[in-house]
């Protein structure tokens, strides 16, 4: 594949992603300085994910603020396809969703699509995806969501409620629409063909439950945006608000190119990895450095392509001055990749130790979060 080529679908991210092109291709809007200022008015501080552009694109986020400013509160909707354990990349939208919940006092509906991952992956059976859904829910809870305002549900266990909405939705979506949107063809199993209506259903769930339109904001990685495009086309036909979206970039793989992938364990740090395993993965990671120390000192490294730097940028160094210093010393050749990897391994260690404690405590809290019908 050409270095410049890249592919982004709900099931695959390949190549070096051009985010500006994604905004054009998906027809979404960049998050502008004006929008950031508007957000700041309500939140007082901007989350580093906004400041640094980890969330970079949206649909109708300005409309969500219009509504909020006249007293119409929105709810948050996000989710996870439980195909394996949680890795650090998955946490990015969740950490951000928790920030939005706190700042806007919003309810969160969190969907676990154990059906989707079962239907999509020939290797996984339903018991496995359901098991991963509960494992992943521990990580969601560990992010600190408010149990009174957070509702996690598994598709296979909450279908009585979801199905009624999904069926009403599905009546307005033809095969040719999902074929074009998702690349389905005549060999796609019929579970997947229906599935977009199940992922759309929670966009409307509180509106139907409360008998009045409630604005919905979806924080998610941008690969999910095709689902919402279909959902937004159908919403007015059901007399419902279109869901709004705010999109994140992908968390990079530890190896060259692509995103962290749960199916390739060495490319990702999982929340259940021991600090020792995480250190090993970081040690083996690709970097933007030179092959020898001598060359590194002479020519400097390239943080713009380096996963070690991206980790700091996204999650582990939210101090802008300190990050800028790291950037410069890498460029100047003062910082060696080995040293930088050690610094990162230390940060990852303290993060994992903390997260794993919260994750264990989440076991007893599970039933306070799970919706059942
Ligand atoms: N399809 C998503 C995935 O594979 C899971 C999901 C369901 C989701 N509902 C969502 C993600 C809402 C973001 C927002 O991960």
Which pLDDT tens digit goes with each residue over 154-169?
Answer: 999 999 999 999 999 9
Q: 83 in ligand 1 pocket by Cβ < 6 Å? A: no
Instruction: Tally Cβ neighbours within 10 Å of residue 20.
Output: 10
CA of 217 to the centre of ligand 1 (A): 13
Does 271 score more than 80 pLDDT?
Answer: yes
Q: Is 51 exposed, middle or buried (0-12, 13-18, 19+ CB in 10 A)?
A: middle
Q: 218 in ligand 1 pocket by Cβ < 6 Å? A: yes
Rounded-to-integer distance, Cα 107 and Cα 84, Å? 26
Q: Return the half-sphere exposure (C-beta side, CA atoms, 13 A cut-off) of residue 152.
A: 25
CA of 257 to the centre of ligand 1 (A): 23
Q: 129 in ligand 1 pocket by Cβ < 6 Å? A: no
CA nearest to 98, candidates 79, 76, 80: 76
Q: Who has greater pLDDT, 209 or 179? A: 179
Q: Name the residue at shortest CA distance from atom 3 of ligand 1.
A: 81
CA nearest to 315, candidates 39, 80, 88: 88
Q: Name the residue at shortest CA distance from atom 8 of ligand 1.
A: 79
Provide the 3-class DSSP secondary structure of residue 366: helix
The Cα-based distances of 204 to 54, 218, 247 in angstroms read 27, 12, 19
Residue 261: the pLDDT is 65
CA of 218 to the centre of ligand 1 (A): 10
CA of 219 to the centre of ligand 1 (A): 10
Can you name the residues that pair with 36 across neighbouring β-strands? none
Provide the 3-class DSSP secondary structure of residue 190: helix
Specify the domain boundaries for CATH 3.40.50.620 within the chain.
Answer: 6-254
Does 356 score more than 80 pLDDT?
Answer: yes
Residue 263: the pLDDT is 62
Q: Name the residue at shortest CA distance from atom 11 of ligand 1.
A: 79
The domain defined by 6-254 carries CATH number 3.30.830.10: no
CA of 10 to the centre of ligand 1 (A): 9
CA of 223 to the centre of ligand 1 (A): 9
Residue 364: the pLDDT is 97
Residue 254: the pLDDT is 85
Q: 80 in ligand 1 pocket by Cβ < 6 Å? A: yes
CA of 242 to the centre of ligand 1 (A): 17
Nearest atom within ligand 1 for CA of residue 221: 13
Element (H, E) at 135: helix 126-142
Q: Name the residue at shortest CA distance from atom 14 of ligand 1.
A: 78
Question: Pocket of ligand 1, candidates 117, 224, 262: which has the most ligand atoms within 8 Å of its Cβ, to mutate?
Answer: 224
Rounded-to-integer distance, Cα 317 and Cα 313, Å? 6
CA of 79 to the centre of ligand 1 (A): 4
The Cα-based distances of 306 to 257, 264, 289, 290, 350 in angstroms read 10, 19, 8, 11, 22
Q: 356 in ligand 1 pocket by Cβ < 6 Å? A: no
Whose tokens are 């869901």? That residue is 243
Does 266 score more than 90 pLDDT?
Answer: no
Whose tokens are 């969190």? That residue is 110
Contact assessment for residue 246 and residue 55, using Cβ atoms and an 8 Å cutoff: yes
Tokens found for residue 222: 């941008």
Q: 79 in ligand 1 pocket by Cβ < 6 Å? A: yes
Q: Which CATH architecture fits 265-361?
A: Orthogonal Bundle (1.10)
Specify the domain boundaries for CATH 1.10.240.10 within the chain.
Answer: 265-361
Tokens found for residue 103: 């700042």
Contact assessment for residue 345 and residue 324, using Cβ atoms and an 8 Å cutoff: no
Tokens found for residue 171: 């009546």
Whose tokens are 């999910």? That residue is 224
Count of H helices and E strands in the chain?
A: 17, 9
Tokens found for residue 232: 């937004």
Whose tokens are 């018991």? That residue is 127
The dihedrals phi and psi of 319, each to the nearest 5 degrees, come to -90, 115
Instruction: Provide DSSP, 203-223.
Output: HHHHHHHHTS---EEEEEEGG
Give CB contacts under 8 A, 24+ apart, made by 39-48: 39/65, 42/68, 42/103, 42/104, 43/99, 43/103, 43/104, 47/96, 47/99, 48/318
Nearest atom within ligand 1 for CA of residue 93: 13
Q: Which residues contact 111 (CB under 8 A, 6 or more apart)?
A: 77, 78, 79, 80, 153, 155, 199, 202
Q: 199 in ligand 1 pocket by Cβ < 6 Å? A: yes
Q: In the predicted model, what is the mean pLDDT of the chain?
A: 94
What's the pLDDT tens digit per position in 11-21? 777 777 889 99
What's the pLDDT tens digit per position in 279-315? 999 999 999 999 999 999 999 999 988 999 999 998 9
First to last CA, the chain: 47
The Cα-based distances of 163 to 158, 194, 225, 335 in angstroms read 9, 11, 22, 55
Residue 4: the pLDDT is 58
Q: Name the residue at shortest CA distance from atom 1 of ligand 1.
A: 81
Residue 260: the pLDDT is 62
């Amino acid at each position: 594949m050409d270095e410049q080529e890249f592919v982004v679908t709900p099931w695959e991210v390949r190549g070096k992603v051009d985010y500006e092109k994604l905004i054009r291709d998906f027809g979404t809007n960049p998050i502008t300085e004006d929008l950031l200022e508007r957000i700041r008015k309500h939140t007082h501080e901007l989350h580093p994910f906004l400041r640094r552009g980890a969330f970079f694109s949206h649909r109708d986020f300005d409309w969500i603020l219009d509504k909020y400013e006249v007293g119409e509160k929105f709810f948050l909707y996000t989710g996870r396809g439980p195909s394996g354990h949680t890795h650090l990349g998955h946490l990015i939208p969740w950490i951000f969703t928790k920030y939005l919940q706190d700042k806007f006092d919003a309810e969160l509906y969190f969907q676990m699509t154990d059906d989707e991952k079962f239907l999509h992956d020939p290797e996984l059976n339903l018991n496995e995806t359901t098991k991963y859904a509960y494992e992943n829910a521990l990580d969601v809870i560990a992010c600190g969501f408010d149990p009174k305002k957070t509702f996690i549900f598994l598709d296979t266990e909450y279908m009585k409620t979801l199905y009624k909405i999904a069926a009403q939705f599905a009546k307005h979506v033809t095969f040719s629409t999902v074929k074009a949107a998702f690349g389905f063809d005549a060999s796609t199993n019929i579970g997947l063909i229906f599935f977009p209506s199940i992922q759309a259903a929670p966009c409307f769930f509180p509106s139907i439950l409360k008998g009045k339109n409630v604005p919905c904001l979806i924080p998610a990685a941008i690969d999910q945006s095709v689902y919402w495009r279909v959902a937004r086309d159908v919403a007015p036909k059901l007399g419902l608000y279109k869901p709004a979206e705010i999109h994140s970039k992908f968390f990079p793989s530890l190896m060259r190119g692509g995103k962290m992938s749960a199916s390739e364990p060495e490319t990702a740090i999982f929340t259940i990895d021991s600090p020792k395993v995480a250190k090993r993965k970081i040690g083996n990671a690709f970097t933007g450095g030179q092959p020898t120390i001598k060359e590194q000192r002479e020519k400097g490294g390239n943080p713009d392509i380096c996963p070690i730097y991206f980790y700091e940028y996204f999650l582990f160094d939210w101090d802008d001055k300190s990050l800028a210093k790291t950037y410069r010393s890498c460029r100047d050749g003062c910082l060696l990749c080995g040293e930088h990897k050690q610094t990162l391994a230390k940060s990852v260690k303290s993060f994992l130790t903390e997260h794993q404690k919260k994750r264990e405590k989440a076991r007893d809290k599970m039933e306070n979060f799970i919706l059942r019908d």
